[in-house]
Amino acid sequence: MTFQDIIFKLQSYWSSNGCVIVMPQDQEVGAGTFNPKTVFSAIGPNNINLAYVQPSRRPCDGRYGENPNRVYRHHQFQVILKPDPKNVQQLYLNSLNEIGIDIKKHDIRFIEDDWESPTLGAKGLGWEVWCDSMEISQFTYFQKIAGITCSPITVELTYGLERIAMYIQGINNVYDILWGYAGDKPIYYRDLNYDFEREFSAFNFDYANVDLLKREFEDFKKEVDSLVEKGLVLPAYEHCIKASHVFNILDSRNAISHTERTNMILLIRSLVMKCCDLFLKQKGLKGGDKR
Amino acid sequence: MKEFFIELFSEELPFRFQDSAKKQLLDLFKTKVRGLVEYDNLESFITPMRMVLKCDLSKFTNESIVEKRGPQVIANQKAIDGFLSANGVDSIDKCEIRNINGKDYYIFKKVIERKNTTEIINEIVEYILQNFKWPKTMQWSSKIRWVRPLRNIFVMFDHSFQKVDLFDIPSENVIHSHKLLGKEFTPVSFDDYENKLEENYAILDENCRREIIIQGITKLEDVNSFSVLKNEDLITEIVGITEYPTVFISSFDDEFLTLPDEILISFLIHSLKVFPILGADKKLLNKFVGVANIVDTTNPKIGSSKLLNAKLSDAKFFFEKSIKTPILDFYNELKNINFYKDLGTVEDRLQRIAKVACAISDKFETIDKSKIERISLLAKCDLASPMVFEYPELQGIVGSYVAKNQNEDKDVVVAIKEQYLPECLDDKSPSNKYSIIYSLADKLEYLLSFFNIGIIPSGSSDPLGLKRYATFVLKIFIDNKLVADLSDVIKVSADAIDITEHIDLCTDFIFDKLQNFVNVSKKYLLALVNSSYKYAVCDIIDSAEMLNIQESNENLEKILNIYKRFSNFATDNEDCCFSSVNKSLLTQYEKSLITEFQILSENNLNGKDRIKFLLDKTNTILNVSEEFFTNVLINDNDESIRKNRIIIATVVKNILDSYLNFSYLY
């Protein structure tokens, strides 16, 4: 099964199980959870089921295309279910059958793993899912986002697509993943992503302009405040994402001390909180009180 | 008696909470049904997916009869009608007449229906769910918090299913078995439940699952003549995450055997959750035993060498990178790692630990201080190494290899490795004298620094692990039979790093954790810890056990009464002694009292021998004291006699205080 087949199968499976398939957030995000559809669905008043592929960029994980297991930009398949269906685990396990992992023939385990995102002020309880000792998914019941207690609860399933593809295709190098076919011609992960990984690693670790990034961070911060003032939740939140990505590059450039690092994380969190509070206020709900 | 059982079916319960959950289930049940119903053969079971309580119950009493006394038979009709309508009785014929104290009264026997069985069962389950304490809970789409989502509550009483209606949690007459392999079923009895579960690949009894794992491993050992490192913690973890454990054997590339054994073993156990194997020559083999939660392990992907090799090559890459870096390069990176708000960087903390270690080293064996300084410099360098960054459980171990590889002194290498010991109550303590000092300094600095900035644990939460650290300080003292005065060691540590706040509170906090080592009433521990004689920590444990036995208890009570009587007259002067007594004023009763207490004060026994000595003297103490109080009036009219006797009372009290601080035994 190719990389793209895995995506197709998951999309079709979750679509037939009540999810609407949406497009990835067209911005650099550090994890699928940052997608505004996830964040605002989780704290908002309405129930919803969503699924989407989210490319996620983690500057510190780049390895110039040289490491067989780590990449700067990897792909997550995200499923957001609110409220949590009573058979959610079974739904997840059936999805593995769909992508060719016969659950009766593999050792599938749910290993306790509680999730936390300091930048989003978010936490959840759940498991890391192991398939024959390979970590293939993260299963999380969100408890708080931006410090706000979620109610009803949203469950998030994250499939690590590279891991799953490597596992299914039985290969040891991420660049050897068979992505799909263009006509008869096999197209590999390497063909599509190797240059990207190599060049962005150089950018993130060696060449990104630190002064420019620091200025941008400050500007984005101000922009969030000004947009919140104008009542524009989504543009304000997108600027939080921009600030978060700039912070990640600064981190990989080794340009921030530990103390500064903590302060910047807290700052991004406070910006996210402002956006979320505004969102709830506009929906006629209280935010701060729920913290 | 009728069979009763509850199954709380949930998504995977974290294994580390399972043991206490199993006990708690029993305790809550016992508390709730006390007086409501009698039970027998009570048991509980736990698997990753279910918590089960089973017992035999007597029939619930569903109704009771209450007698209502009405008016006298000679009362007027209005009173009689009032009584009838108040009790919903249509005719006076339904009442009987009874003579009470010579007068005839109408009596109505009212049958009051108590709650029915379903309601009582609902109440029991509700009580358990509401009062269960998990270290961590979550919300999901129900109206209760639990450790993980509860997906079904199955209750069976007297072979019939009892639906409960609680917190929006489903209660269906169905049992979900092994998640991947089993089918749903409906049981007719507990035996049927347990058997069908097993047929559907879920073994209820955790001891059976443990036995299957151990037997599976032993069988492999017999066939292959190797020995498997049967790590107990890993077995417990696997018992807690599998419902149908199946043992299998697999291998990895032998190039990874070049990793140091300890690193490889730790990696296999902690990161891969498999058991390492030793060959006949006691050397590690490139094989391992895994346990899958499935029946058929023939699928080559289960325990696949390919997967394992990929993970091991990551570990090897990080280890080689770490070991080649000069150890002090890592030290420089610690300067940039913040330790905690208001407590500086990791480097700041290391410097504080170094000061504490040097200061307290005088309290123990003679040591070479330059080694302590070197240990302090290198101890936590590995925290900045790529290997520990990736695999935090290897802290200390990686550092000791880096140090050894770079020709550091043997004591230094051992101390780097042993500084984090013990990691739990069953773990071993550091035993090398340098490790002991550094490990204690590490923990004492941690406790004192947090107390100093006002972070003092209250209640059951302990996010910074202060309770654990306090317990481990005691454990190091106990395991190594250290005789140094712990309160003094704490004080010296605080002085070394200029800590001024909450030192006494911190000391009490540490001593309070003695309760983790001995199951006795807390007052005995307090009486020993606060006596004016300084007991070694290990002696406190033995002595407290001795005080706790019945016979000691009775003697102690007698001595306590004497102590109370002397205390009524004693002053606070702790330096008072018999030599300040004016001997010319003494009666024979005072003389014999002094003689006996002189013996008590001169004894220089330690630990439980000291306590035994006191208790053996109970009758003597009792006799001379009784004689004294019967024949001597302390508040004599003569001022000098009165003063003399008050000195005697004070000295007697002080001598008793040098055995136990009796004020804690009141």
Tokens linked to B34? 């006390």
If you measure CA to CA, which chain A residue comes closest to B274?
Answer: A133
Q: Say whether pLDDT at A16 is over 90.
A: yes
Is residue B334 within 8 A of residue B345, CB to CB? The reply is yes
Q: Which has the higher per-residue pLDDT, B209 or B605?
A: B209
CATH number of the CATH domain containing A119: 3.30.930.10
Q: How sure is the predictor about B328, in pLDDT bands with cuts at 50, 70 and 90?
A: confident
Bond from prior residue into A186 cis (ω within 30 degrees of 0): no
Last residue of a domain, one of A203, A231, A264: A203
- Tell me, yes or no, whether A118 and A251 share the same domain: no
Query: Across residues B483-492, what is the average pLDDT?
Result: 94
Name the E strands within B187-303.
227-228, 246-251, 275-278, 284-292
- C-alpha B460/C-alpha B456 separation (Å) is 12
Other C-beta atoms lying within 10 Å of the C-beta of residue A108: 22
Calculate how close chain A gets to B319, using CA atoms only, in Å. Answer: 16
- The residues that bridge with A49 in the sheet, in sequence order, are A81
Q: A228 to chain B nearest CA, in Å?
A: 30
User: For residue range A136-182, what is the model confidence (pLDDT) as tens digits?
Assistant: 999 999 999 999 999 889 999 999 999 999 999 989 899 999 999 99
Which range is least confidently modeled, A220-229, B77-86, B412-421?
B77-86
Do the chains contact at B138 and A107, CB–CB below 8 Å? no
CA-nearest of B300, B254, B253, B291 to B273 is B291
Model confidence at B445: pLDDT above 80? yes
Q: What is the pLDDT of residues A22-61, one digit of tens each?
A: 999 999 999 999 999 999 999 998 999 999 999 999 998 8
pLDDT bracket for residue B65 (50, 70, 90): low
Cβ pair A153:B140 closer than 8 A: yes
Same-domain check for residues A122 and A175: yes
For the cut 60, the answer to whether the pLDDT of residue A291 exceeds it is no
| A265 close to B (CB below 8 A) | no
Query: CA distances (Å), B641 to each of A43, B545, B584, B610, in order?
Result: 82, 42, 10, 33
Q: What is the mean pLDDT of residues B237-259?
A: 93
pLDDT tens digit string along B156-168?
Answer: 999 999 999 999 9
Residues A44 and A176 in one domain: yes
Could you tell me where the DSSP H helices lie in chain A? 3-16, 36-43, 88-98, 161-169, 189-202, 210-229, 233-252, 258-282
pLDDT, tens digit (0-9, with 9 covering 90-100), for B493-536: 999 999 999 999 999 999 999 999 988 889 999 999 999 999 99
Asked if B297 lies within 8 A of A107 by C-beta distance, the reply is yes
Residue type, B100: I
- Is residue B485 a contact partner of residue B362, using CB atoms and an 8 Å limit? no
B139, A110: Cβ pair inside 8 Å? no
Whether B310 and A172 lie within 8 Å, measured CB to CB: yes
CB-count burial class (<10 Å; 0-12, 13-18, 19+) for B29: buried
pLDDT at B475: 96
**To the nearest whole angstrom, how far is the Cα of A253 from the nearest Cα of chain B?**
15
What pLDDT digit, counting tens, does each position of B415-439 carry? 999 999 998 887 889 989 999 999 9
Instruction: Supply the ipTM of this predicted assembly.
Output: 0.89
- A139 shares a domain with A174: yes
Return the minimum-mean-pLDDT range out of A246-250, B44-48, B185-189, B300-304: B300-304
Q: How far is B53 from chain A (nearest CA, A)?
A: 23
Quote the DSSP letter at residue A17: T
Give me the domain span that covers residue A130. Answer: 3-203
- Taking only the tens place, the pLDDT of each residue in A271-289 is 999 999 999 999 988 765 5
Flag whether pLDDT at B491 surpasses 70: yes
SS3 label, residue B251: strand
pLDDT tier at B443 (50, 70, 90 boundaries)?
A: very high
d(CA B559, CA B553): 10
State how many domains chain A has: 2
Residues A194 and A220 reside in one and the same domain = no
CA separation (Å) from B525 to B23, B444, B520, B530, B654?
27, 21, 8, 8, 19
pLDDT of residue B603: 86
How far does A161 lie from chain B, in Å, by closest CA?
Answer: 16
Q: Same domain for A94 and A182? A: yes
Question: Quick one: pLDDT at residue B306?
Answer: 77
Pair A16, A150 in one domain: yes
Say whether both A70 and A153 belong to one domain: yes
Q: Measured between beta carbons, which residues in chain A are less than 8 angstroms from residue B307?
A: 132-134, 167
Contact B32, B124 (CB under 8 A): yes
Give yes or no for residue B55 having a pLDDT over 60. yes
Residues of B near A (CB-CB distance < 8 A)?
Answer: 11-12, 14-16, 48, 136, 138-141, 148-149, 151, 170, 179-181, 241-242, 272-274, 290, 292-294, 296-297, 299, 301-304, 306-310, 314, 336-338, 345
Q: Where among A203, A222, A256 does a domain terminate?
A: A203
Q: A164, A188, A203: which is the final residue of a domain? A: A203
Residue B71 has pLDDT above 80, yes or no: yes
Number of H helices, E strands in chain B: 25, 12
CATH number at residue A244: 1.20.58.180
Other residues' Cβ atoms within 10 Å of the Cβ of residue A220: 22
Using a pLDDT cut of 90, give the percent of chain B over it: 62
Task: Set out the domains of chain B in order of their start, with CATH numbers.
Answer: 2-60+117-199 (no CATH), 63-113 (no CATH), 206-314 (no CATH), 328-517 (1.10.3210), 542-665 (no CATH)
pLDDT of residue A29: 96
| Model pLDDT, residue B64 | 61
- How far is C-alpha A80 from the chain's CA centre? 12
- Comparing B26 with B392, the larger pLDDT belongs to B26
User: Which A residues in the span 107-126 are in contact with B, Cβ-Cβ below 8 Å?
Assistant: 107-112, 114, 124-125
The mean predicted confidence, pLDDT, of chain A is 93
Structure confidence at residue B576 (pLDDT): 83
Closest partner CB to B294 (pick from A107, A110, A259): A107
The 3-state DSSP composition of chain A as helix, strand, coil percent (nearest 5) reads 45, 25, 30
A63 and A151 belong to one structural domain: yes
In angstroms, the CA B386 to CA B350 distance is 20
Q: Which residues contact B166 (CB under 8 A, 6 or more apart)?
A: B122, B125, B126, B129, B144, B153
In this structure, are A152 and A8 located in the same domain?
yes
pLDDT in tens, B619-628: 999 999 999 9
Answer whether B376's CB lies under 8 Å from B353's CB.
yes
Q: Check whether A69 has a pLDDT greater than 80.
A: yes
Pairing of strands A134-145, A148-149: antiparallel
Q: Are residues A81 and A158 in the same domain?
A: yes
Say whether residue A152 is in contact with chain B using an 8 A CB cutoff.
yes
Task: Tell the burial category of A173 from Cβ atoms under 10 Å away from its Cβ (0-12, 13-18, 19+).
Answer: middle
Residue B98 bridge partners (DSSP) = B105
A110–chain B nearest CA distance, Å: 7
**pLDDT value of residue B594:** 93
* Cα B587 to Cα B580: distance, rounded to the nearest angstrom: 16
Which of B12, B272, B292 shows the shortest C-beta gap to A110? B12
- Measured CA to CA, the distance from residue B432 to residue B424 in angstroms comes to 18
Task: Return the percentage of chain B with pLDDT > 70, whole number.
Answer: 98
* Shared domain check, A144 and A12: yes
Residue B460: what pLDDT? 67
pLDDT at B249 over 60: yes
| Of B296, B174, B287, nearest in space to B244 by CA | B296
